Amino acid sequence: MTFEEVKKVTEILLEFLPNTLKLFAWTIVLSIPVGVLVTMLKKCRFKPISWLTNLYILVMRGTPLMLQIIAIYYAVPLVIASAAKQGKTGGIYDVLTNIKNNENYMFIALVTAFVLNYAAYFAEIFRGGIEAIPKGQYEAALMVGITKMQTFFRIILPQVTKRVIPATSNEVIVLVKDTSLANVIAFAEITMKAKQQMNLYSSITPLFIAGAFYFVLNAIVTVAFAVIEKKFDYYK
């Protein structure tokens, strides 16, 4: 490829980079709080809830994210087709039809799949961080008259945050790369566009350019987490 062709491909990938970043951002913003909720449900003393939570985590971690994306993306159309075949209209049928016809449906399906998948991983990371804190700290805090709420937010949470940062950073780095799986349902992100340009120019150079984009994004993520981890250095 000539320099001008490489420049043109780079500009095309830059044009669709916001789609990749948007998917990444929404996944992070939603999957972390959902992961915290899943952690709480897993530790619930009501066994049926704990069992269902364990099953959810097992399914999400035990099946490929690509299959989950495909399943969720086609779930609504299949339900609509099934309802139409049985002659059912109105109510939930109309709601599902409106969702399917929405131009943002593809993105919503992607975010749903990514959030459900990554929340399961984050839940296990957070659970491990909480269980790594010695129970003696809870007892000591209680002895000096600190409430359970104060104990959690002032003593336990900062230590848990320190412990889970390395594992969380690994998951976030993986997430940056996993956004490329969105092309399986033809979502316009940089990997899909790189494949199109590769076919257009009969060259693998566009894939290397896309790889450079992911490398830069992960370098930024790595630096960001290094700064965050340094701020928690006083927790040994």
194/77: higher pLDDT = 194
Which helix (H) or strand (E) segment is 2 a member of? none
Confidence at residue 179, expressed as pLDDT on a 0 to 100 scale: 94
Q: How confident is the model at residue 105 (pLDDT cuts 50, 70, 90)?
A: confident
Confidence at residue 113, expressed as pLDDT on a 0 to 100 scale: 94
Query: What range defines the domain where residue 219 resides?
Result: 3-231
Phi, then psi, of 234 in degrees rounded to 5: -75, -5
Number of H helices, E strands in the chain: 10, 0
Residue 35 lies in a domain: yes
User: Which residue type does 141 have?
Assistant: A
The structure tokens listed for 167 are 């594992």
Mean pLDDT of 82-88: 61
User: Does the pLDDT value for residue 30 go beyond 90?
Assistant: yes
Residue 90 lies in a domain: yes
Confidence at residue 85, expressed as pLDDT on a 0 to 100 scale: 59
The CATH number that applies at residue 86 is: 1.10.3720.10
Question: Taking the CB of residue 27, how many other CB atoms lie within 10 A of it?
Answer: 23
Residue 236 lies in a domain: no
Segment 121-163, tens digit of pLDDT: 999 999 888 888 787 877 787 787 787 777 777 777 778 888 8
Domain count, the chain: 1
Would you say the pTM of this structure is higher than 0.75?
Answer: yes
Q: What does the mean pLDDT of the chain come to? A: 85
Segment 180-208, tens digit of pLDDT: 999 998 888 999 999 999 988 888 999 99
Q: Which residues contact 83 (CB under 8 A, 6 or more apart)?
A: 89, 92, 93, 96
User: Which residue type does 145 have?
Assistant: G
Residue 73 lies in a domain: yes
**Percent share of the chain, pLDDT over 90:** 46
